[in-house]
Each structure stands twice: as structure tokens, then as C-alpha cells.
Structure 1
Amino acid sequence: MAGEDWLGDVPKDGWQATHSWKMPEWVEPIIIILILFPSMYLTRRRNYSVFRRDKDHTYKLLDEVEAGSPSPRSSNEFELLPKPDAFPPKTRSLCGFMRIRTPNSSRFARNVHSRILQKFPFLVEMFYWAIALALYRGTGAVAQLIYGGHREMWDSAADHGLALLDAEAYFFGNGHEGPKRWLEWRIQRWFLHGSEAGDYRVWFLTILNRGYALIHIPGTVGFISYYYATAPTHRRFCTVRRTLTLTNMLAFVSFILIPTCPPRLLDEKYGFVDTVNLESAESVWMSGKFVNKLAAFPSMHFGYAFCIGCVFIADSGVLTGLINKAFNYVFRSSDPDADAEEEDDEDLLLKRRSPLVRGLMFAFGLWYPCWILLTIVGTANHYFLDALAAVFTVMVAYVFNRFLLVFLPLEDYLLWACRMDKPIPTTGRMKNLVVE
């Protein structure tokens, strides 16, 4: 295809970000810090002292509550254990097939590190996401091991990327030949030509480049912080958190088994331009030798955005009937009375929002995934099928999010090994729960 006319269609010297701005590498970590630590402080348990251990501690078991199942209908529903030696084992269910007993770490509630967590329970969420980031960092190495080497993995990833483009061209090719049959190529060319001409598209593309780097990690962390503080119930928050976590796990399996080269890393003869790196706008979290550059399918940029958008639409109440039925189906527990009361609490808290706030939440829920879709395609970082796969991944994760409860026994043993008690969350009405 070297002699095709489209080769002369490449903007001279690639893309020149004449209106771009440089951003130091320390900006992103500072943004994360400015999100996490204020969130940790704002969601702290008030009227609770880390160092007040001069009297008998009131211990509270959190068997199902700490797992994200229905929170107690009143503080009296916690089992009070005034004796320090009265800590019976917890009973956990493994996918409903068997029940096992695990250590009860409530006996360690008076330890300083336990009381720090009790004061700042959002630290637990920070720990969960640190684990997810660490697992992502390992997907590239595992994929390389499976495919038998770096070169073999990259060759397979390029083939997978081209296969996605050809599959899309079957529906969106519009009879074009060469790269013009690829919708992603045509969209990026529109930005590149406008950028070369110096019109508004040069600013538009620069915003997309920066958005690709800054929105994915900081935006998702910001959402977790926001929803931890504003979710009507802890049960609702945990379902969203588990959905995001299981989405990550499913995506990581795909990254390992189906490494896929993003359009920007395909051979330059295909005409895609890596605008993010040309503008030095790459995220500090997505750079370095431990980053999997072949993690295009599915797109977690769009997966996170789609999940976040659905949460805002659901909480806006605009589509209350349909979406809440789906939420309540996934939130169901073994206690119908608890479910009914939780649903009443959620409905009451969601209805307190003004019509203006509801409208803005619904509009944001629609706009955010669309903006991310334009970002990942316009910067040649993903294919449309990546986004479609991400939607499917999120939906599967949502339906089966309770699968992650199988890890509760492991968490119990980890807490026991660390001599630490898991804190009572401060989400929803549980923020007013008095803990001594």
C-alpha cells in the first residue's frame, strides 16, 4: 500500500502541538494526593479518638456489613461483645456452596493501627486500588511469558489490532480503500488536518491529549472518593466498587490472553499518529517499563467512564424505575426485610436531591462516557470495539459482582495476620454511627 494516495495525507512531520502546554511529571501525583487525602479527612469518623484507649472498648462485628451487604438498620444490630476474650470466629459463605469459619480480628480493635483505620476508613479503599494497580503492572510480564517472548507478543498484538480494524471496516468502511475504511483513522485525520491548519481543532486535540492522561486514574480515584462520601448506603457503594474491581480483573485476563496493540503503536504505514506522546502528555501512571502498552482490549478508560456514567444516571432518578429494579436485583440479600428497608432508605436519600441536581447528574452521566470515547479514538489509543468490549465487561462485572465476596475469608486471615480490625465505614447513614 506504499504507493496509495493516502500516504501523502499524513500531516507534515506528524503532528505539531504548537499550542500545547508542558506539564511536569509531579503534577499527576500531586493531583492524586489532593484527591485522596482530603477525601480521607472529609470521610473520617468524627468524635472518635485514635489514642483514647483508657477504657473498655466496645467491639462490633461486621460480618456482612464489611462485605458490602445490607448495612444494619440500627446500631443495635451490631453484636456487642464487652469481654475482650469473647470473639467467636466469623462464618463465611463461599458462593453459597459451603460455609467456613475464619478468625475474628475484632480483638485487635484497640491496637493503634486499627484505630487509625477506624478514624479514617477510606484508607481501606486506597489499599484496594493500590492492589489493582499492582496487578495491572504485572499483566505485561505474564503475557510475554505466555507468548514466548517480547517479539512474539508484539507481533500477535499487532495482528489483533488489525483484526479489530478490519472487523469494524465491514460495518463502517463505506466502500473506502486503505486506511480510509477505518473510522478511527478518519476521525483522527479530521483533528490532525484542523490542527495543521491552525484552527480550533488544535486546541481540541490538545485537550483530548491531556484528558487521556489526566482523567483515567485521577478521574476514577476522584469518583471513588466522591461516591464513598455521597452514596446513600454503604451497600450501594460496595456494589459499585465491586463492579469496578471485577471489571479490572476481567480486563486483566484479556490483557494477558489477548494482548492488543493500540492504533498509535501500529506500524507507521497505517497512518495513525501518537499525539499523546508527541505532546509529552503521557500519564506518569501509564509509563515506565512495568506498564503494559498492549492493554487496549477492552478499554478500561471507557470501561470506567461507562460505569461512572451509569452510576450518575441511576442516582439522578431520571430512570428510577428501570435502573433501580436492576440495582435491587444485584443488591439482594438473604434478608428480605433488610432489603426492603435499605431500598426505602436509598429512595428517600436519592429523592432529596433537587430537580436541578438530578438533571445535572443525568446530563453528566450521558456526557462523560461520550467524551471519553471521543478521547480514546481521537488520540488513537483505542478502537471502537475496545469500547464495546468494555461495556460488555462492565455489564458482566455488575451482574456477578458478588463473586468477589469469595475473597472475604482471605481478607479475614490478612487482618488477623496484621493484628488489625477492619473499620466500620462512614458511607451513607453509617457515618453517624457512634464508635467508642
Structure 2
Amino acid sequence: MARELPARPGRRSPLQRRPRWWSELPLLIAVYAAYSAGRLLARGGKSDAVTQGLTLLEWEKHFGINFEHPLNRLFTSTPALGIPADFIYASLHYLVTPAILVWLFRRRPRNYRAARTWLLLSTLLGLIGFTLVPTCPPRLLDAAHGFTDTMEQFSSYGWWGAEASAPRGLGGMTNQFAAMPSLHVGWALWCGVMLWLHGRGVAARTFAVAYPLITTLVVMGTANHYFLDAVGGALTMAVGLLLTRPALRLADRVRSRIAAGAGEAGSDGSDRKSTIVSGGCQTSAGEHIPGQRTSSASPADGTPAATR
């Protein structure tokens, strides 16, 4: 049975080490690449997506929660609201979330791992939603349903065209039917929670509340999402949060077993090395050169073996 190696003073175990950027960056890139590729591949049929979108709209009308209708009319008729909303939709989603991640990594390393895991799990859940429930956003419904695509209306002010936030000419590389759930809302909610829990000062708390609310209004006012898409984004984040602790425990068990296996291998190697080097020999009194070692079983008089 391998003996347990004593911990080296001043050295952290693998589970206590601060996250390293060279291990975190590939992980984040891989998950975002999977998210983007999933949006591209999980296109779904247009008829199914339209049916799903109309079903959501009917539910909202039945319960009187189709808030996207009045907001879209307001944004369409008021360029001072519609144009900034288009810029917010097309940019902040891809700027604020990475900025919060970097801030947590640098300033709140003890909270970073759980926060990152929550975000990544929720993103993967959103990808599953895009795949299983392709949903046509309000802007792509027939004009008879009363929606105007503000990003198409005000496209001359920005880099986007008629295909949501994608740059002109690249709309075909995105999934236009990835409305349910709204990860714009989900990621904004994550950013708000992180700032509320770990930020300092009134400005951080104010932004923590305002950013998710403004994002929710923007995704509806620009006709990119239904209100129920926003609810779906919040629920996706809630499920991701529930899965975070079990996922971290599983990751810790795996890393502990890997570390234990490496420690056991190191212990066996060090034992073998100790047996070979010592060999039952000891240094005689007054020895100055390597060739004068005697066996530990030599007579107690200390006489070197070569002179006996």
C-alpha cells in the first residue's frame, strides 16, 4: 500500500490553486465555439419555428403579457430610443459578459470558478433549447402580426443588416430561429448578479440592476424576442445555477483522483530511488572523496574496509 505523501509547506493542492489564464481561455473559447456552431447547425425548419413563435405570441395575448408589441411600436416610432437600443443589442452582449469574467478572474479569483461554471452550464442549456425548440423571433413573423424589425429599419446607423446583430453579409452564418431562450437576457442577468454580489459602491449596484432590465426591454423593443423568451432566459440561468454545485463537486472528485494517482506514482518512484541510492551504506568519519564509503554493517571501530 502506497504511503501518503506529506503536503509540502507553502504549496497549495490542485483544488486550491488560483485559476490560470492559459487553462481558462481554451475552455471559454471551446464552449463559445460550441455555442456558435450549435446556433449555426441547429437551424430547424422554418414552418416549425414560425409555429412555435406564434404559439408563444398566442399564450402571451391570452394572459395579457405581450409586452413586446407596445415596446416595438415605441422603438420604431422613436429613433432616439430605437437606434441606441439596436447598438445595445448588437454589442453589449459580447462586451459586458467577457469584461465581467475578466474582472472576476483578476479581482475575485475565489468566486471566479463557480461564476464561470454557472455561465458555461447555462449557455450549454440555452444551446439545447435552440436545438430542440427552434423559435421564430417577432421580427421575422408576417407583418400582419404587428412587428417591425428596428435593426433593419435603422441599419444605416450601424454595422448590422436585416439579420439581427450579425454584420452585413454574415447573417447566413447565424441561426435566425434561436429566440428561445433569450441568452441576451440570461447573460445580462448573470452579469447583474455578479456585480451585485461582488461589486462595490452605488455605481456597481445600480448597473447590476439596470443592465438586465434594460436588456430585457431592448430585446423586446427591437422585436428580437418575446417576453416569454426573456422568461426562458432567466429560467435557463436558474437551472444552470442549480447544476453548478454538483458540477463543481464532480470536477473536484475527478481532479482529486488524478492528483492522488500522480501522488501515488511519485511515492513509489521516490521509494525505489531511496533504496538504490542509500544501499545500506554510510559515510565514514573524515571522508573527503566519494570512493571511501563503507557498509553500515562495518565493525564499530570505524576502521575502513580497505585497511582491515
Does 2:36 match 1:137? yes
CA distance in 1, matches of 2:94, 2:39: 19
Give the aligned partner of residue 46 of structure 2.
154
Does 2:285 match 1:393? no
CA distance in 2, matches of 1:272, 1:126: 40
Amino acid at match of 2:71: I
Give the aligned partner of residue 292 of structure 1.
175
- Pairing of 1:242-253 with structure 2 (within 5 A): 242-253=117-128
Counterpart among 96, 102, 115 of residue 225 in structure 1:
102
Residue 123 and residue 211 in structure 1: after superposition, are their counterparts in 2 closer, same or farther (change >3 A)?
Answer: farther
CA drift of 1:262 comes to 0.9
Give the aligned partner of residue 213 of structure 1.
90
Give the aligned partner of residue 214 of structure 2.
371
Counterpart among 301, 312, 321 of residue 195 in structure 2:
312
Give the aligned partner of residue 172 of structure 1.
64
- Asked if 2 retains the 8 angstrom alpha-carbon contact of 1:138 and 1:290, the reply is no
CA distance in 2, matches of 1:284, 1:290: 8
Give the aligned partner of residue 185 of structure 2.
302
CA drift of 1:299 comes to 0.4
- Asked if 1 retains the 8 angstrom alpha-carbon contact of 2:39 and 2:127, the reply is no
- Asked if 1 retains the 8 angstrom alpha-carbon contact of 2:129 and 2:181, the reply is yes
3-state DSSP of counterpart to 1:292: coil
Relative contact order: is structure 1 or structure 2 higher (C-alpha 8 Å, sep ≥ 6)? Answer: 1
Give the aligned partner of residue 275 of structure 1.
150
3-state DSSP of counterpart to 2:42: helix
Counterpart among 381, 399, 405 of residue 224 in structure 2:
381
CA distance in 1, matches of 2:137, 2:104: 31
CA drift of 1:212 comes to 0.4
Give the aligned partner of residue 65 of structure 1.
16
- Pairing of 1:25-64 with structure 2 (within 5 A): 62-64=13-15
CA deviations over 1:150-197 (Å, ceiling 9, x no partner): xxx111111111111111112216xxxxxxxx431121112223x3xx
CA deviations over 1:278-336 (Å, ceiling 9, x no partner): 333434579443322211111000001111111222235xxxxxxxxxxxxxxxxxxxx
CA drift of 1:237 comes to 1.0
RMSD: 2.8
Q: What is the percent sequence identity of the aligned residues? A: 29
CA distance in 2, matches of 1:294, 1:314: 34
Amino acid at match of 2:116: R
CA distance in 2, matches of 1:295, 1:62: 42
Residue 186 and residue 403 in structure 1: after superposition, are their counterparts in 2 closer, same or farther (change >3 A)?
Answer: same
Counterpart among 121, 134, 141 of residue 266 in structure 1:
141
Give the aligned partner of residue 47 of structure 1.
none
Give the aligned partner of residue 189 of structure 1.
73
Amino acid at match of 1:160: Q
Residue 192 and residue 289 in structure 1: after superposition, are their counterparts in 2 closer, same or farther (change >3 A)?
Answer: closer
Amino acid at match of 2:105: Y
Amino acid at match of 2:15: E
Residue 387 and residue 278 in structure 1: after superposition, are their counterparts in 2 closer, same or farther (change >3 A)?
Answer: same
CA distance in 1, matches of 2:246, 2:174: 28
Amino acid at match of 1:313: W
CA distance in 2, matches of 1:62, 1:264: 52
CA distance in 2, matches of 1:143, 1:229: 35
Q: Which has the larger radius of gyration?
A: 2
Does 2:113 match 1:238? yes
Give the aligned partner of residue 55 of structure 2.
163
3-state DSSP of counterpart to 1:289: helix
CA deviations over 1:231-282 (Å, ceiling 9, x no partner): 1xx3311111101000101101110000111111112222211111333343
- Pairing of 1:95-110 with structure 2 (within 5 A): none
CA distance in 1, matches of 2:53, 2:87: 24
CA deviations over 1:81-120 (Å, ceiling 9, x no partner): xxxxxxxxxxxxxxxxxxxxxxxxxxxxxxxxxxxxx9xx
Alignment: residue pair count: 239
The alignment's TM-score, normalised by the length of structure 2, stands at 0.69
Residue 285 and residue 60 in structure 1: after superposition, are their counterparts in 2 closer, same or farther (change >3 A)?
Answer: farther
CA drift of 1:381 comes to 0.6
CA drift of 1:63 comes to 2.9
Amino acid at match of 2:21: F
CA drift of 1:142 comes to 4.4
Residue 162 and residue 315 in structure 1: after superposition, are their counterparts in 2 closer, same or farther (change >3 A)?
Answer: same
3-state DSSP of counterpart to 2:114: helix
CA drift of 1:61 comes to 6.8
CA drift of 1:62 comes to 4.9
CA distance in 2, matches of 1:245, 1:160: 26
